[in-house]
Structure 1
Amino acid sequence: MSSTPHVEPFFFDSEPGTRFSLYHAPNAQVAARGAILYVHPFAEELNKSRRMAALQARAFAAMGFAVLQIDLFGCGDSCGDFSAARWELWRRDLGVAHQWLTKRNGGPVHLWGLRLGGLLALDYACTTQVAGIILWQPYLSGRTCINQFLRLRMAAYMLDEDPAMEQLAAGGNAALRAELTARGTIEVAGYEVSAELVRSIDAIDAANLRLPPCTVHWFACGAPATEKLAAAAQRLAACWAPGGVALHYHPVAGAPFWSTAEIAECPALLAATCAVFARESK
C-alpha cells in the first residue's frame, strides 16, 4: 500500500488501573473493513510473539481494518502483577477494548487470538456478538496449556544438581500442581501464577464452548503436526456447526515463533492470513 497506517500507543482505564494498548488506524486509501481486536498469548509467549503480532496488525491495517492490541491485566506494559491476573479480569478487559473499538470505528469486529489468547477469544465470544474469530495456533484445552507451562518448571528442576529439585522433577506435573495447591502460587520461568487463574484456565475446553453464529479461521503452524491438528479441527467443526459456526482450517509451514530462543518470524503465516482476508473482501 502507498499509505503507512498510523500507530497510536495509549493507556485506557479498565478496573483495576490502566491497560497499555496499540491502535493501528485503518488505511484511509482503501475501503473500511471493520475492526480486529488482538488477544495475546500467555506468559513469555507474549514477548516472543510481539514482532509477529505487530507485522500482522500492520498488514491488517493496510487492508482497511482498524486493529487494537491490548496488554491484559498483569501482562506486558499494563498495570498489575501477573500473580494477580484472573481469567474474568482478562475477559472484562476484552469487553472494554471491544466497546472502545466499536465506538471508535463502528462496523464489524473480529477477534484474533494467539495460543491461549485464542482460547480466551473463543470464551469471550460466547457472551457477545463478533463478526468472526482468527485463531493462530490456538490451545483447544486450557489444561493442556497449563501442563505445557509447568513443564518449563520441571525442565529447570532437572538442570538443578540439588537432589530435592531432581525429586520434584521426577514427580512431574502432578507434583507441581500439588505444590501450587498448597502454596496458592507457583513461579515458572519468572512468572508467578496463582492457583485461581490456573483453575479457571484448566476449566476451559473449546469443544464445550457455545459460540454465536460466526466464521472462525484457524491457522496452524509449528508443532504438533498440522495433520494431527486437522483431525482436531474436523472434530471441533462438527461440535460447532449446529450453532451456525463455520470453522475453516489453514495449515501453513513455519517456525513456532512464540517459543523460539530468538525472536522469529513466520512469513507463511502472515501471507496465509492476509490471503484469506483479501479473498473475503472481494
Structure 2
Amino acid sequence: MNAPLLSTPRVEPFFFDAEPGTRFSVYHAPNPHVQPRGAILYVHPFAEELNKTRRLASLQSRAFAALGFAVLQFDLFGCGDSCGDFYSGRWELWKSDLSIAAAWLAERAGGGPLHLWGVRLGGLLALDCARELRPAGLILWQPFTSGRNCINQFLRLRLETQPEDGARSTAALRARLAVHGHIEVGGYEVAIPLVKAIDECEADQLRLPPCTVHWFADPAPAPARVTANVARLAAVWARDGVQVHFHPVAGPASWNAPAVTECPALLEATSAVFRSDP
C-alpha cells in the first residue's frame, strides 16, 4: 500500500558539532501519518559527484521520509558545505563523522532499524562502517567495490581535462602524487594519506554484520561483469549472514553527467523496494 505523502514535508537544515568544526546536515522528518520505519543515513559520493547527485539524493530522501523513515543527509568533513577543505579530508575522519551522525539520527528517530545509504564511493565507505554501526540494511547506488578503481577513475578526469600537463596515464599521475604528496583534479586537491586509505579499501575484504543489502546499478555496458561481481560479493558476505538483492536500473548516471541530471528510474526502483517492504 502506498504511503500518503506529507502535505508539507518537514526538512530541517542545521550544523552538528564534530571535531574539527561542524558538519552541514539536512534532516528529513518521517511522515507522521504512517508507521515509523526506522532511520536512513546518507553517505554521499566523492568530490564533484557530491554536487552532481545532491538534488537526486534530496528527492530520494523526501521519498523515504514519506514512507515513514527519518533521513539524515550531511556533508563529510572537507566536503560540500561542511567545515574544512577537501585536501584535509581523511577516511578515518569520515568514518568518525558517520558514527556521530548515526548516533544523532538514532536519538532523533527514537530507535528502529538503521539503514546506511551510500552512493558510489559513499557505498564503499558505508560498507567499511557497517561492522561498527551494525545497520539492519545497506542501500547501495552504483557503488565502487574497489577504492583503487575509484581513485583511478578520479585521476582519469585529469587526463581528460588537462592533457597539456604531460601525463599520459594514471600510473604517471600516481608517480607524481608519490613525489609531491598531493594532486589536484578538477578543482579538488587530494592528499596522499586519503588516496592510500581509499586504495586499500576493497569490498571483498570487509566483514559485514548480518543485514540486507539492496544494490541498485545500471549494468551497462558490461552486464555480465557487473552481475558476476555482485554474485561474487554476495557469496563472500553470505558467510556472515548477509543477503544481497541486486536491482538493475537503466538510466542517466547523474554522478557523471555534465550537468545536474535526475534519474526517475532509480528513484522509482528504490522507492518501490521500500514501499513493498513491511
TM over 0.5: yes
Q: Is 1:271 aligned to 2:271, yes or no?
A: no
Task: Supply the AA of the counterpart residue of 2:254.
Answer: F
Task: Supply the AA of the counterpart residue of 1:79.
Answer: C
Deviation >6 Å, runs of 4+: none
What CA deviation, in whole Å up to 9, does each residue of 1:81-123 have, x standing for no partner?
1000000000000000000011111111100000000000000
SS in 2 for 1:254: coil
SS in 2 for 1:78: coil
Residue 224 of structure 1, CA deviation = 4.4
Residue 137 of structure 1, CA deviation = 0.2
Task: Supply the AA of the counterpart residue of 2:242.
Answer: V
| Partner residue in 1 for 2:74 | 70
| Partner residue in 2 for 1:82 | 86
Partner Cα separation in structure 2 for residue 198 and residue 77 of structure 1: 22
Task: Supply the AA of the counterpart residue of 1:127.
Answer: E
What CA deviation, in whole Å up to 9, does each residue of 1:26-46 have, x standing for no partner?
000111000000000000000
Q: 1:246 aligns with which of 233, 243, 248?
A: 243
Partner Cα separation in structure 2 for residue 73 and residue 153 of structure 1: 23
What CA deviation, in whole Å up to 9, does each residue of 1:4-38 have, x standing for no partner?
32000000000000000000000001110000000
Q: 1:156 aligns with which of 161, 181, 186?
A: 161
| Partner residue in 2 for 1:212 | 209
Task: Supply the AA of the counterpart residue of 2:50.
Answer: L
Gaps of 5+ in 1: none
| Partner residue in 2 for 1:96 | 100
Are the counterparts in 1 of residues 216 and 248 from structure 2 also a CA contact under 8 Å? yes
Partner Cα separation in structure 2 for residue 233 and residue 249 of structure 1: 7
Q: Is 1:40 aligned to 2:37, yes or no?
A: no
What CA deviation, in whole Å up to 9, does each residue of 1:35-60 have, x standing for no partner?
00000000000000011100000000
**223 and 18 in structure 1: CA distance in 2 versus 1, 3 angstrom threshold:** farther
Are the counterparts in 1 of residues 5 and 31 from structure 2 also a CA contact under 8 Å? no
Residue 194 of structure 1, CA deviation = 0.5
Are the counterparts in 2 of residues 118 and 138 from structure 1 also a CA contact under 8 Å? yes
| Partner residue in 1 for 2:128 | 123
Count, aligned residues: 273
Partner Cα separation in structure 1 for residue 143 and residue 5 of structure 2: 33
Task: Supply the AA of the counterpart residue of 1:112.
Answer: W
Matches within 5 A, 1:135-174: 135-158=140-163, 160=164, 165-166=165-166, 168=167, 170=168, 172-174=169-171
Partner Cα separation in structure 2 for residue 124 and residue 96 of structure 1: 12
Partner Cα separation in structure 2 for residue 230 and residue 52 of structure 1: 24
**263 and 176 in structure 1: CA distance in 2 versus 1, 3 angstrom threshold:** same
Are the counterparts in 1 of residues 219 and 227 from structure 2 also a CA contact under 8 Å? no
**126 and 75 in structure 1: CA distance in 2 versus 1, 3 angstrom threshold:** same
> C-alpha root-mean-square deviation of aligned residues, in Å?
1.1
Are the counterparts in 2 of residues 223 and 256 from structure 1 also a CA contact under 8 Å? no
What CA deviation, in whole Å up to 9, does each residue of 1:207-241 have, x standing for no partner?
11000100000000275434421111001101110
Q: 2:62 aligns with which of 58, 68, 73?
A: 58
TM-score (ref. length: structure 1): 0.95
Partner Cα separation in structure 1 for residue 5 and residue 94 of structure 2: 36
| Partner residue in 2 for 1:258 | 255
Residue 2 of structure 1, CA deviation = 4.3
Partner Cα separation in structure 2 for residue 63 and residue 279 of structure 1: 10
Are the counterparts in 2 of residues 222 and 256 from structure 1 also a CA contact under 8 Å? no
Gaps of 5+ in 2: none
